[in-house]
């Protein structure tokens, strides 16, 4: 895998010259609009990058965006990969390893998720302070390469506390409804049953989604600090569950996206 990472990194660097990003951003479902805030220098399609997996979802663009955001050099993944697409965990997290090799110092992750907490409503934001991994695989399974990270990486601070606290201060200063909570990762692609929502809440979850945790595990394996934020696009705590469509989820994500963008932009700028 290391050879593949190095080959991919070398290709990207050959296209980017001396541009070295300080921050990496993964944009989740319906949350690609942050790109409009970036002073773009270069875009690379996933499909043109050697060994880079390609998103199969029509609402994920599949581009690496290089540029400047709030005075900081960034690289943004416009479109992420999911386990339910049929990729291995190693493929899903391959881009994170490449971003690290490109020079990023911090990883910022966004996602759309369902609320499990009755106090967290549809359209609110939630900064992730911890997670519960219920996915059936782990990107670190198999032989460990110590050039990438330790065999048993510590996860006591999976999400950087200082960034969590700063994000909440930014949200409060801008009158944005933003919570702090625990994210539960499941495989998907189906949404949960009522009994499953109830179970996820009982075990300590505030929101549930189908991404993020594999990328976070690999980022921490490589020593990268992580910040993650969810847009809560639906509610799983109601007595009667209403059917939820992808179109509805995308609509809520788009509506909440400017609030998330403001927080991320200020956080990356160091405010």
CA distance 210 to 188: 6
Q: Is the dihedral of CA 185, 191, 195, 197 positive or negative?
A: positive
pLDDT at 58: 56
CA distance 207 to 194: 14
User: Is beta strand 226-235 parallel, antiparallel or unpaired with respect to 106-115?
Assistant: parallel
Residue 179 phi/psi, 5-degree rounding, is -105, 175
What contacts 239, CB < 8 A, 6 or more positions away?
A: none
Full-model pTM: 0.96
- Give the range of the structural domain holding residue 99, as residue numbers without chain letter: 2-269
For residue range 102-122, list pLDDT tens digits in order.
Answer: 999 999 999 999 999 999 999
pLDDT at 202: 98
Asked whether 39 and 67 are in contact (CB, 8 A), the reply is yes
CA distance 121 to 114: 9
Query: What is the number of structural domains in the chain?
Result: 1
What contacts 250, CB < 8 A, 6 or more positions away?
A: 29, 30, 59
pLDDT in tens, the chain (271 residues): 899 999 999 999 999 999 999 999 999 877 788 899 999 999 999 999 999 988 766 555 689 999 999 999 999 999 889 999 999 999 999 999 999 999 999 999 999 999 999 999 999 999 999 999 999 999 999 999 999 999 999 999 999 999 999 999 999 999 999 999 999 999 999 999 999 999 999 999 999 999 999 999 999 999 999 999 999 999 999 988 989 998 999 999 999 999 999 999 999 998 6
For residue range 176-197, list pLDDT tens digits in order.
Answer: 999 999 999 999 999 999 999 9
Q: Indicate which CATH number applies to the domain containing 167.
A: 3.40.50.1580
């Amino acid at each position: 895998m290391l050879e593949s990472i190095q080959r991919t990194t070398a290709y990207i660097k050959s296209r980017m010259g001396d541009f070295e990003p300080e921050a990496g951003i993964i944009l989740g479902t319906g949350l690609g609009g942050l790109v409009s805030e970036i002073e773009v220098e270069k875009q690379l399609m996933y499909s043109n990058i050697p060994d880079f997996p390609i998103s199969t979802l029509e609402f994920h663009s599949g581009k690496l965006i290089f540029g400047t955001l709030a005075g900081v050099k960034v690289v943004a993944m416009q479109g992420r990969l999911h386990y339910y697409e049929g990729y291995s965990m190693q493929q899903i997290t391959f881009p994170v390893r490449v971003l690290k090799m490109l020079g990023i110092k911090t990883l910022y992750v966004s996602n759309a998720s369902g609320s499990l907490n009755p106090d967290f409503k549809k359209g609110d934001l939630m900064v992730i302070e911890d997670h519960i991994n219920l996915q059936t695989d782990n990107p670190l399974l198999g032989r460990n390469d110590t050039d990438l990270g330790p065999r048993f990486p510590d996860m006591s601070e999976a999400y950087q506390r200082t960034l969590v606290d700063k994000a909440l201060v930014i949200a409060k200063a801008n009158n944005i409804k933003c919570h702090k909570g625990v994210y539960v990762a499941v495989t998907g692609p189906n949404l949960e049953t009522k009994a499953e929502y109830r179970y996820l809440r009982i075990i300590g979850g505030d929101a549930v989604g189908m991404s993020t945790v594999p990328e976070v595990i690999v980022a921490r394996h490589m020593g990268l600090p992580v910040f993650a934020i969810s847009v809560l696009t639906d509610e799983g705590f109601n007595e009667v569950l209403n059917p939820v469509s992808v179109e509805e989820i995308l609509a809520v994500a788009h509506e909440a996206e400017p609030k998330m963008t403001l927080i991320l932009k200020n956080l990356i700028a160091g405010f």
